Structure 1
């Protein structure tokens, strides 16, 4: 918790800081990367820096944490912090890097706000930063301890081209590691310019299999930077090649217990749901599961037959599909996902994954149906812009 003196200062200055936070984070990243180019080359996602998404996400997370400190003392935004910690652990972020971030972030605050940053203001926001950093360091320390391993090698056992833009890679890590359904791994590659870039990909098969599978959508440069790592994987990686991967991380995992579930996905967001369904099928679960998936077309629907087979193997599961551009004679719904006509069991827990507009729409529909926010969990592929827009 913030000290009483700092809490009052943060509360009074939060509107000013929040109003300038995106300018602050832009200045912060520019200066830090100018002095430490290896961080952009080997740790941060260059694509997310180029399109500005990482800056927006950082601004949103700082503002959300500070707001929680002054409005809900003793109730930190646990879900947000867990999501950030898992992402940091998957990248291999170290404790000493928080001091580097602090140096450049507070220099940027001073440059943007000038004389408004009095010693009292600086002390209060320094307390905010280290409370957030300390919490994340503790969470990440626990995650590293649980994983017990850092980077490892994984051999590509098989490559399957699912669609022109999506390929599935079956991996066998040198060091056997278990994972929870829904988690992801990081893949680190060395690009032609020497940069070592890292991306996260959900494990799209069940933990009961003797291999890992990642399903990678190639990110095309349509109004945004080309996906450097996804393009590298699509163009270069074949069976027999070896990748460098992290231990599994991620906090969108199959909810425990035997209560009802809603698994809602769109596009490549299906991948963590396949892992959850695969585990339920492998363990003979009769859990009530409502599966919702939306896609552009049946041809674009990755692992479509596998999804149908997994749902059919679960006696308590039902499948509802929407296609924006359906084929003639298709089964399912046309257009965007609409949960209004679906029977939802009482007390369900929802897991969402897909583009932000899809997840926001589904969450709003669930709220209208009386599902509490605490019962809705989600995964974002990339920076969490949901926080920034909250």
Structure 2
């Protein structure tokens, strides 16, 4: 069975997701190249699906076994060829391929939902930093010890609420701008290419800014946002009102035979005290009390943990009860856990593959495309994967081993029109 992982993956993405002749879309600035841009595309896509950690590793693996994935007239590219091609690569054809894959998944109803709502999280993260090299897209960060680092940051949008955790797209954060500015640009792009890309967008407190919320509302997309800044008028008004009320709803969740949560929710609509907001908001306060046991001084004692969450949303009480608002705000963590943590841990997103303004975007688009196709294969084609006990890293290892030892030279038919 392990020998079939790679062939089944290639067959699945070819049959279901990759448009016919898509490798011919690839274009770069090289003149009469010996290695076609489409070959660079395939090398990057399969390399990231196999979780390569650097271009040097990709070059070694390509020379050893990628000939089985390429037409007979093409040879695997070197790391320098990939760098040179990526620096002059056209981004729009790559995005066209990316969009085609996402749209196919959407039409096939492969994206998860939360209580019939499609929920997406938007957040920012750093990609890599260096002290010795910089480009026009770098952000300079000056430290107290007098040193300067050059960083690249992005904002991404990812579907949350289940598997597969599809990444809809990303936008670089330009020098001198913040996450919300780049996020507004990302929302515009997502709406342009996918139209109604999500029913609800959930964000952390760093995005609790009126221009960003108004921008989402103009697209008819609902928002759920965490509130942490106690200086905000809406926070003061909500806390003052809730302090004089009993909870609107209480319930209990059993986590295990010895642990349970007691949850209380306060819920009010028509808050107009957020400066700059074009419509009133609803505020929900959630208090979770976890009852369990802890070992203190070698003795088992009862332990109680209390956690408060304050949330603003454009969803009405009729559209989403407090239980759903709580689930959505907790699901926001998936962009951190199954998103950035997974990407940096398994796919080495934090590594500087190529430090150049266009090339680093080429790398990210193919990395995210490979990740999306990898998850779609595991959760929509191999439905038994969730209960198999294998990690994503182990599956990638099985695919690497299969490519190394397989003798079938016809694998290229899954990636190119002719072999």
Larger radius of gyration: 2
- What TM-score comes out, normalization by structure 2 length? 0.27
Per chain length, whose mean CA-contact separation is higher, i.e. which structure has more relative contact order (CA < 8 Å, sep 6+)? Answer: 2
Q: Which has the higher helix share?
A: 1
